[in-house]
Amino acid sequence: MSKSIGDKFESLYLSGKKGLAWLVDPDDVDGYTSFSQNIQKAIKAKIDFFFLGGSLLQRNNISETIQLIKKQCAEIPVILFPGSAMQFSDEADGMLFLSLISGRNPDLLIGQHVSIALELAKSSVEILPTGYMLIDGGEKTAVHYISQTIPLPNHHPELSVATALAGKFLGLKYFYLDAGSGAPDPVSPEIIRAVKNAIKAPLIVGGGLNSLEKIKLAYQSGADLVVLGNAVVQNMELLEEVSSFLETIHVRVN
Ligand SMILES: CC(C)=CCC/C(C)=C/CC/C(C)=C/CC/C(C)=C/COP(=O)(O)OP(=O)(O)O
Ligand SMILES: O=P(O)(O)OC[C@@H](O)CO
Ligand SMILES: [Mg+2]
């Protein structure tokens, strides 16, 4: 792979272009045929990254899922978005090395990281040090429950800014604002805007982005990379809709 994933994140941030990631839940990967068809749709929609992971995975099929993706497209990077250190595969291109800085659960700030560090050092998986911040999306989501942490309020930007800045001062390079999967309210434009202005670094946004309008608003507020999970499970065509929208703005940017 020519450019590193970190470089790709940086260039989205620096160019003002917008990226799109599809979050694949390995538990949902059942039939080879239907998954293959969806991969084809994702390729056609020119997604930038596959994200792979879940709060609570039931099956041990991460490597198998990566192989299915790689068989059809070796070019689009597969990035682990792990709920725990157990969700590791050295067949991935990269791993969001998430530290849950919105919470005060030491295991998710540093514990899981220690348990996988030696294995990561031996692998060629690219490590992406990421400040992961849960934002209140109006409902308790799986990530809130599993992490046993309290999300940041969705309408109090100073708290999110202070949290993100602390992460930046600790050396984290990328930031992920997540309202939690299937959240009724996505991360608010004011939080996205305030965090982006403060950190001046690549910003990933996800959780509850289930319509083109919500996705556009996230991009316009400062998201460099949007992550879509549940909405795509319901309707694969959303990837194509977002892609068409991105083509129009990319034409305007250049
Ligand atoms: C860096 C290492 C080794 C581990 C990270 C450990 C951390 C900080 C985890 C954060 C807390 C957590 C449980 C995150 C999970 C994030 C994730 C992959 C969510 C995907 O969505 P789901 O919550 O599975 O959605 P569904 O319920 O819709 O499947
Ligand atoms: O499934 P959705 O709501 O798109 O959320 C994606 C991801 O950001 C959750 O961690
Ligand atoms: Mg899941």
Q: What tens digit of pLDDT does each residue of 113-161 get?
A: 999 999 999 999 999 999 999 999 999 999 999 999 999 999 999 999 9
What is the per-residue pLDDT for 253?
56
Ligand 1 atom having least distance to the Cα of 109: 8
Q: Are 179 and 226 in contact (CB under 8 A)?
A: no
Q: What is the identity of the amino acid at 149?
A: T
Determine the straight-line distance between the first and last CA of the chain, rounded to whole angstroms: 25
Q: How far is the CA of 155 from the centre of ligand 3 (A)?
A: 26
Q: How far is the CA of 194 from the centre of ligand 3 (A)?
A: 29
Task: Report residue 135: phi and psi, to 5°.
Answer: -115, 145
How many residues would you count in the chain?
Answer: 254
Q: Which domains does the chain possess?
A: 5-253 (3.20.20.390)
What is d(CA 134, CA 138) in angstroms, rounded to the nearest whole number? Answer: 12
Q: Are 65 and 99 in contact (CB under 8 A)?
A: no
Closest Cα to atom 4 of ligand 2: 229
Q: How far is the CA of 249 from the centre of ligand 3 (A)?
A: 31
Cβ neighbours of 75 (radius 10 Å): 8
pLDDT digit string, tens, across residues 34-63: 899 999 999 999 999 999 999 999 999 999
Mean pLDDT of 73-93: 98
Residue owning tokens 């989501």: 141
Q: How far is the CA of 230 from the centre of ligand 3 (A)?
A: 9
Task: Report residue 132: phi and psi, to 5°.
Answer: -105, 125
Mutate to test the pocket of ligand 2, among 181, 185, 210 (most ligand atoms within 8 A of CB): 181
Mean of per-residue pLDDT scores for the chain: 96
DSSP string, 85-96: TTS--TTSSEEE
Tokens of 160: 């999110």
Q: What is the identity of the amino acid at 11?
A: S
DSSP annotation of 103: S
Q: Please list all protein residues whose beta carbon sits less than 5 angstroms from ligand 3, which is an ion.
A: 25, 54
pLDDT digit string, tens, across residues 217-252: 999 999 999 999 999 989 999 999 999 999 999 876
Ligand 2 contacts (CB < 6 A) are 23, 143, 178, 181-183, 206-209, 227-231
